[in-house]
């Protein structure tokens, strides 16, 4: 029996069950790579009764990274597009989380997976020790169990943005950032969020995870 899995899972589920407290927000964080692809032949515009048509030839323009931050209780999300995904990039995301997105929070409970850049030491590698400590005092990392990133609500947001915004050819960082900004603004205006119903009580009905 993997009790470490159970302990991490219940830790996350307890966070989700808490009432919203703006001083102690629960924030979900993740990232995904994205392949930039441009058109070689201009698409044929849509006509009545006929969709827009694309030529199958395209041009790869390199890869980039999307950092996504999601606060379910506030129905708010933000995506930052970066050229790469390094510990330094992660550290700057953490500083923005503390200073820009949630400046009034006393502590941000951060749900994230076990990627090798998701570590407190990344901040010490990037900033002076005093600055790294200042940021980390405002953060509490809550890691999902290994191979259970589905427990991170931000995975649902990544699925939505992939389907609604990214499932097409976007050939430059400028174009990608513009399209994501429009998607993000509309989704935040709609106050779209996740209706999470999986709880510790429901999990404990699983006799494989919790043998008698």
Domain segments of the chain as ranges: 3-37+58-189
Please state the rounded mean pLDDT for residues 64-72. Answer: 97
- For the cut 70, the answer to whether the pLDDT of residue 180 exceeds it is yes
- For the cut 70, the answer to whether the pLDDT of residue 57 exceeds it is no
Angle CA 153–132–85, to nearest 5: 50
| Burial (Cβ within 10 Å: 0-12, 13-18, ≥19) of residue 168 | exposed
Q: What is the CATH number of domain 3-37+58-189?
A: 3.30.420.10
Q: Copy the structure tokens of residue 128.
A: 């002076």
- For the cut 60, the answer to whether the pLDDT of residue 103 exceeds it is yes
Three-state SS for 109? Answer: strand
| Burial (Cβ within 10 Å: 0-12, 13-18, ≥19) of residue 180 | buried
The Cα-based distances of 190 to 67, 83, 167 in angstroms read 21, 29, 21
pLDDT tens, position by position, 117-146:
999 999 999 999 999 999 999 999 999 999
- For the cut 60, the answer to whether the pLDDT of residue 200 exceeds it is yes
- What pTM, to 2 d.p., does this model score? 0.88
Query: What is the rounded distance in angstroms from the CA atom of residue 58 to the CA atom of residue 43?
Result: 11
Residues in CB range of 76: below 8 A, 6 or more apart: 70, 188
pLDDT at 157: 96
CB 78 within 8 A of CB 200: no
Given phi > 0 = left and psi -120 to 50 = alpha, else beta, which region is 161?
alpha
Cβ neighbours, 10 Å, residue 3: 9
């Amino acid at each position: 029996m993997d009790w470490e899995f159970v302990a991490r899972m219940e830790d996350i589920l307890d966070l989700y069950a808490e009432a919203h407290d703006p001083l102690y927000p629960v924030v979900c964080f993740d990232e995904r790579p994205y392949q930039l692809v441009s058109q070689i032949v201009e698409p044929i515009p849509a006509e009545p009764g006929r969709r827009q048509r694309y030529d199958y030839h395209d041009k790869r323009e390199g890869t980039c990274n999307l950092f996504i931050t999601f606060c379910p209780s506030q129905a708010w999300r933000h995506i930052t597009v970066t050229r790469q995904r390094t510990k330094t990039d992660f550290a700057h995301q953490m500083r923005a989380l503390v200073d820009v997105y949630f400046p009034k929070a006393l502590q941000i409970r951060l749900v994230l997976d076990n990627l090798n850049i998701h570590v407190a030491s990344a901040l010490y590698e990037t900033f002076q020790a005093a600055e790294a400590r200042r940021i980390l005092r405002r953060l509490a990392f809550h890691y999902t169990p290994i191979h259970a990133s589905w427990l991170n609500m931000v995975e649902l947001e990544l699925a939505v943005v992939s389907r609604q915004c990214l499932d097409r050819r976007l050939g430059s960082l400028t174009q990608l950032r513009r399209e994501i900004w429009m998607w993000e603004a509309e989704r935040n205006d709609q106050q779209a969020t996740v209706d999470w119903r999986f709880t510790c009580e429901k999990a404990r009905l699983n006799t494989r995870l919790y043998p008698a």
